[in-house]
Structure 1
Amino acid sequence: MTTYTYEHTATTTATPAAVYARWADVATWPTWDTSVLAASLEGPFEPGSRGSMTLEGPMEVGFELVEVDPGAGFLDETVLPGLVLRFDHRVEARPGGAEVTVRVSIEGEGAAEMGPMVTGDTPDAVAGLLRLAERTSAPA
């Protein structure tokens, strides 16, 4: 079995609450992540809730919220044949705003090959998230 890991961190003037609010509003993910054409969540934004995303291609994938730390982040997991993808999203307060980190780990055959395809647009998605959070954020 192979493993792929990736991490991207960015800073923002948005409050952690504004960033977290964008994450928790799953239906609006396509407004800041251009690779997501549609997203939905069955149930509340809490562990055990399942959702789906339609990605460029188009390709539909399911995910499950594994951990949810209100106001601070969440971990979701996607299981594909022979692969497990985990996306850990964290936001921490910093002077004048926040620091956002997205960590991705992929386990299974072909993880090393799939990893760059899955994470290639992460910096752009995070930048889009932060632009939207900054527009809707009260000053820190």
Structure 2
Amino acid sequence: MKQLFLIISTFFVMQAQAQQTNYHFSHTDSTQATSDKIWAVWTDVPNWKQWDKGLKEATLEGDFIVGTKGKLIPDKGPKSKFVISEVVPNQSYTFKTKIPFGWLIIKRSLEVKEGKTFFTHDVEFTGLLKKILGKRLGVNYKKMLPDVMADIKKIAESK
């Protein structure tokens, strides 16, 4: 039974990896830190700059709930506004920021299995220019995502 589970799990991981593009990709990591510790790091918007490489500042204009707006100021490039569009406390949240003719959607989710916390960061560019923006911006974002996740893990495990 365990071997069957491994085979099925490997198949789904390979499928997920095969479907990754520069305009829609994700990365999952695992940690011994509890899910509430990852959640605390993820929802501490003013401190996103500690682990989100290239981010100079992030602010949130209220509580971490659906509809709350915020601002992102990157090290390079223009500042942007975002809105929290989904929240399932201690499990997942999604925020989106307007891009030309579409959206940049970030979804972060948690799952606890066999005493480990698995956390996933999903990035999707939508709209008419998704492939172009994915090529211009997504390539670098995708490349640095494993390091970003490692920093989140390090912060959560030190709490």
Matched residue of 1:124: which SS? helix
Over 3 Å counting, the alpha-carbon distance change for 1:30 and 1:124 in structure 2 is same
Please report the TM-score for the alignment, with normalisation by the length of structure 2.
0.78
Cα distance between partner residues in 2 of 1:97 and 1:80: 35
* 8 Å contact from structure 1 (residues 92, 99) kept in 2: yes
* 8 Å contact from structure 1 (residues 53, 61) kept in 2: yes
Cα distance between partner residues in 1 of 2:143 and 2:81: 20
Matched residue of 1:57: which SS? coil
Cα distance between partner residues in 2 of 1:117 and 1:108: 19
Please report the TM-score for the alignment, with normalisation by the length of structure 1.
0.88
Bigger Rg over Cα: 2
- 2:108 is matched with 89
| Residue number among 123, 131, 150 corresponding to 1:127 in the alignment | 150
Cα distance, 1:44 vs. partner?
A: 0.2
Cα distance, 1:69 vs. partner?
A: 0.9
- The structure whose residues are more often strand, as a share, is 1
Cα distance between partner residues in 2 of 1:60 and 1:125: 20
- 2:61 is matched with 42
- 1:61 is matched with 80
- Identical columns (%): 28
- 2:35 is matched with 16
Unpaired segments ≥5 residues, structure 2: 1-21
Cα shift readout 1:63-95 (whole Å, capped 9, x = no counterpart): 100001111120001112212111110011123
Unpaired segments ≥5 residues, structure 1: none
